[in-house]
Amino acid sequence: MTPLRQQLINVLTLKGYSKRTEQSYVESVAALATYYHCSPELLDDGQLEAYLLHLHARGYSASTLNVRLSGLRFFYARVLKRPFVVEALPRPAQPIRRPQAYSRQEIGALLRLGVSNPKHRVFLMTVYGAGLRLGEACTLQTSDVESGRMVLRVRQGKGAKDRYTCLPPWLLEALRGYWRLARPRTWLFPTAGDRLSPITTRTGQAIFYRARARAGLPNRGGIHCLRHSFATHLLEAGVDLITLKKLLGHTHFTTTAGYLHVTAERGAELPDPLAGAAPKG
């Protein structure tokens, strides 16, 4: 490992960035160095701009370009102390994508028909029933299930923030049944054959893809669409945006308000959305 890469990792660690962000930023700087076959500290503004234009010409999405640009901005400003090198480079505009959600009936089909493994079923039920991000669901601990308060604790969610989200009665019942069967210790959903490690995000995503295929549901994205479905169904049931923002752990109100477009398009008012999705039997 080069001294510059280690220095970048050290700064990211001290500032509390997640491992995922650390990996993305390190990859961004490493790709730049590989492209020019030299240390990134030797590059000037024009070379950086030419590199980003090269990525754009190769068809990289706006999201990927922004991640690369964020990594380079951080590296030059925080590690090399040269903010003037990249501060003038514009951010690519990202297309506005509305969140896609499944109906209550589709969620029910996913949970009833898509999975036969009890652990996998309860994992998907938890992602949907508590509106979790994939990484949040994978790293849940048994002590995070607070049945007395009917809440689920989310440790170090996006932005390194703790929060509480709802724990519907049907989900609590499913979690209790799963606990009696699997007896998880620290991690609520441990890796198969290794109770000392949590399930990986890759495994969690694979569980969803298999379940979606078996249930015959349309492709509306990855497992994150279960979180979108959670938010959409709560709005349709009359939950206000402020409460929903807290449950989802959003930083900006405009992010939560984006679900209003989905509910308007669906044009439905559902009285008890989460309970209706719980599998029976």
Active site residues: 133, 158, 224, 227, 250, 259
Distance CA 84, CA 76 (A): 8
Tokens encoding 175: 């979690």
Please provide residue 154's backbone torsions phi and psi, each rounded to the nearest 5 degrees: -110, 115
Length, in residues, of the chain: 281
Distance CA 217, CA 213 (A): 6
**280: closest CA among 124, 129, 170, 167?**
170
Sign of CA dihedral 176, 179, 184, 189: negative
What's the alpha-carbon Rg for the chain, to the nearest Å?
21
Beta bridge partners of 152: 145, 165
Query: β-strands 151-157, 190-191: how paired?
Result: unpaired
Long-range contacts of 50-58, Cβ-Cβ distance < 8 Å, separation of 24 or more: 52/89, 56/92
Distance CA 25, CA 75 (A): 8
Q: How far is residue 170 from each of residues 158, 166, 257, 272, 275, measured CA to CA in Å?
A: 26, 11, 27, 12, 7
